[in-house]
């Protein structure tokens, strides 16, 4: 059986009864988090630019463009919503994928579900199928795939989105194989674009192309049986890995949504900055540190980090999200890192003064597992001769120290309330707590529109 056929089999045969209750609970949390950041991101320049194209090209108004009054075809709605969900870089991550699973997956699943008048339960199952396929491909291809320069949110996530859309469209095994094969040719996304509008576009690109691949397959469009594991297929082009049958042996038996889990972001910046932000906030509070006391901050990181956090002197808000110098200085100077930290007005004077004193170094003693690439250690040298240190650690929101339900709800309400109003935001949060019980997904998506164009 080819790799494509094995994945298609999982898409077609997995039933809700096989999905663990804990996995469904994780989908509810992911939907709450992702819809919150999607609503908040709808006002960002990248999302606005995409919508200007959607208004011209968007076709039959079947699907909600979240946080706006605009409606579009499934592919265009998926593009707009995926881009908005990733616009603040506030959406969740998965360490097997080495990318952002929920922004593209939920954008694709909601668009397909609206077009097909599917249920909340259909969305939950499609999300789970897409997540597991994305994570399985991530485990097979990473870290080589990621360190080559591919942004796995799109380059792997496109296949997860195609799987989710294929399930909602009720494609049979043959058509699902073709959808995955088409998606393999549509998959792309370069890390070189981190710090620009193209980075959030990657999530929309994956969502759009996943839905597009499934729609083409439904109409009889074909692809190679060996699109994933052939000698000139997806795996050979994207990494040095081989996609033998064993690569997907655990599908449906070990659920990666529980094993590698979902990391929810407490800060709207690259996940590789978060453990250092946590450490600096803790040291600042404990020692009542001020900017003038600090001689130098040294952040030890994994070897994969410098190529990602490459903006040492960031010029824009988007670049600051990929700058350890900015994120560490902002945390230490102001005591917070939030959406307003990345406004285009530029860093506050205290942050700007501290950035030149932040040094990022590769620390070969840090653990090197996929789930530990985001670990860091922090050393703060003070002008009075003292040295303060935070040992190697992960970050809050990671699967081993998840945000509480109350913290996650507070994040959602902080993002959603300015768009929907307090009462409606609270109502959507309550509805998402029972996502799998919604008989028609439009009962949810109709509440996510707003007056914004």
In terms of Cα–Cα distance, which of 287, 313, 316, 449 is closest to 381? 287
How far is residue 43's CA from residue 2's CA, in Å, rounded to a whole number?
A: 43
Cis, peptide link before residue 143, omega less than 30° from 0:
yes
pLDDT tier for residue 344 given thresholds of 50, 70 and 90 = confident
Q: How large is the average pLDDT for residues 109-129?
A: 98
Burial of 151 (0-12, 13-18, 19+ CB in 10 A): buried
Distance (Å) of CA 259 to CA 20, 22, 136: 12, 11, 11
3-class secondary structure, 433: coil
User: Going along 325-402, which residue ranges are E strands?
Assistant: 358-362, 376-382, 387-393
What helix, strand, coil percent values describe the chain, rounded to 5? 55, 10, 35
Q: Is 264 left (phi over 0), alpha (psi -120 to 50) or beta?
A: beta
The structure tokens listed for 301 are: 């990181």
Distance CA 152, CA 97 (A): 7
Q: What is the residue-wise DSSP string for 13-27?
A: H--GGGS-HHHHHHH
Mean pLDDT (the chain, rounded): 96
Q: pLDDT digit string (tens) for 166-212?
A: 999 999 999 999 999 999 999 999 999 999 999 999 999 999 999 99
Predicted confidence at residue 241, as pLDDT, reads: 86
Q: How confident is the model at residue 230 (pLDDT cuts 50, 70, 90)?
A: very high
**Res 243: pLDDT:** 87
Residues 414/445, Cβ–Cβ less than 8 Å: no
Q: Is the dihedral of CA 115, 118, 124, 128 positive or negative?
A: negative
CA distances from 44 to 236, 411, 426 (A): 37, 18, 23
Instruction: Tell me what pLDDT residue 21 has.
Output: 97
Q: What is the mean pLDDT of residues 148-153?
A: 97
C-alpha triplet 196, 312, 402: angle, nearest 5°: 75
Q: Is the pLDDT of residue 453 over 80?
A: no
pLDDT at 346 over 90: no
Q: Give the pLDDT mean for 344-371.
A: 91
pLDDT tier at 156, thresholds 50, 70, 90: very high
* pLDDT band, very low/low/confident/very high, at 147 (cuts 50, 70, 90): very high
Percent of the chain past pLDDT 70, that is, above it, reads 100
Query: Measured between alpha carbons, how far is residue 344 from residues 317, 324, 340, 350 in Å?
Result: 5, 18, 9, 17
Please name each of the domains of the chain with its CATH number: 3-266+427-448 (1.10.4100.10), 271-393 (3.30.1330.120)
pLDDT score, position 247: 85
Task: Please check the confidence at residue 137 and state whether its pLDDT lies above 90.
Answer: yes
Q: What is the pLDDT of residue 439?
A: 98
Query: Tens digit of pLDDT for each residue in 256-307?
Result: 999 999 999 999 999 999 999 999 999 999 999 999 999 999 999 999 999 9
| Contact predicate 248/1, CB 8 Å | no
Tell me the helices (H) and strands (E) count for the chain, helix number first.
Answer: 20, 6
Phi, psi of 191 (to 5 degrees): -65, -20
Question: pLDDT grade, residue 345 (50/70/90)?
Answer: confident
List all residues 6 or more positions away from 345 whose beta carbon is below 8 Å from its beta carbon: none
Alpha-carbon Rg of the chain, whole angstroms? 21
Question: In percent, how much of the chain has pLDDT > 90?
Answer: 94
pLDDT in tens, 25-74: 999 999 999 999 999 999 999 999 999 999 999 889 999 999 999 999 99
Distance (Å, whole) CA 15 – CA 342? 42
Q: What is the pLDDT of residue 246?
A: 79
In this prediction, residue 244 carries a pLDDT of: 76
375-425: pLDDT as tens digits: 999 999 999 999 999 999 999 999 999 999 999 999 999 999 999 999 999
Q: What pLDDT shows up at residue 189?
A: 98
Dist. CA 425–CA 416, nearest whole Å: 6
DSSP summary character for residue 192: G
Provide the pLDDT confidence category of residue 452 given band limits of 50, 70 and 90. Answer: confident
Sign of CA pseudo-dihedral 30, 79, 147, 297: negative
């Amino acid at each position: 059986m080819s790799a494509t056929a094995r994945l298609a089999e999982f898409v077609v045969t997995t039933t809700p009864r096989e999905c663990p209750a804990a996995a469904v609970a994780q989908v509810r949390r992911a939907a709450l988090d992702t819809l919150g950041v999607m609503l908040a991101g709808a006002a960002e320049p990248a999302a606005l630019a995409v919508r200007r194209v959607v208004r011209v090209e968007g076709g039959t108004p079947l699907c909600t463009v979240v946080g706006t009054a605009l409606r579009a075809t499934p592919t265009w709605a998926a593009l707009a919503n995926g881009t908005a969900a990733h616009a603040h870089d506030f959406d969740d991550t998965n360490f097997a994928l080495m990318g952002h699973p929920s922004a593209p997956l939920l954008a694709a699943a909601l668009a397909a579900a609206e077009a097909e008048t599917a249920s909340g339960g259909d969305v939950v199952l499609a999300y789970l199928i897409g997540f597991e396929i994305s994570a399985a491909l991530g485990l097979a291809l990473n870290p080589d795939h990621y360190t080559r320069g591919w942004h796995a949110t799109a380059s792997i996530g496109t296949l997860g989105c195609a799987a989710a859309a294929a399930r909602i469209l009720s494609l049979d095994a043959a058509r699902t194989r073709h959808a995955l094969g088409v998606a393999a040719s549509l998959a792309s996304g370069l890390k070189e674009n981190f710090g620009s509008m193209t980075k959030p576009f990657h999530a929309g690109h994956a969502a759009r192309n996943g839905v597009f691949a499934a729609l083409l397959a439904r109409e009889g469009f074909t692809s190679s049986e060996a699109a994933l594991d052939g000698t000139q297929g997806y795996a050979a082009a994207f990494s040095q890995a081989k996609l033998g049958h064993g690569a997907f042996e655990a599908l449906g038996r070990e659920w990666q949504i529980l094993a590698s889990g979902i990391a929810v972001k407490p800060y709207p910046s690259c996940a590789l900055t978060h453990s250092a932000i946590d450490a600096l906030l803790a040291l600042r509070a404990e020692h009542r540190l001020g900017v003038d006391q600090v001689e130098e901050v040294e952040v030890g990181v994994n070897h994969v980090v410098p190529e990602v956090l490459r903006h040492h002197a960031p010029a824009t808000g988007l670049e600051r999200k990929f700058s350890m110098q900015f994120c560490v200085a902002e945390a230490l100077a102001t005591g917070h890192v939030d959406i307003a930290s990345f406004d285009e007005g530029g860093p506050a004077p205290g942050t700007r003064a501290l950035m030149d004193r932040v040094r990022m170094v590769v620390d070969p003693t840090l653990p090197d597992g996929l789930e530990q690439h985001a670990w860091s250690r922090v050393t703060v040298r003070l002008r009075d001769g003292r040295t303060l240190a935070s040992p190697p650690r992960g970050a809050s929101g990671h699967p081993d120290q998840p945000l509480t339900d109350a913290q996650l709800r507070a994040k959602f309400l902080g993002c959603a309330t300015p768009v929907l109003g307090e009462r409606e935001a609270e109502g959507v949060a309550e509805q998402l707590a029972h996502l799998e019980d919604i008989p028609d997904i439009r009962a949810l998506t109709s509440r996510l529109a707003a007056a914004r164009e």
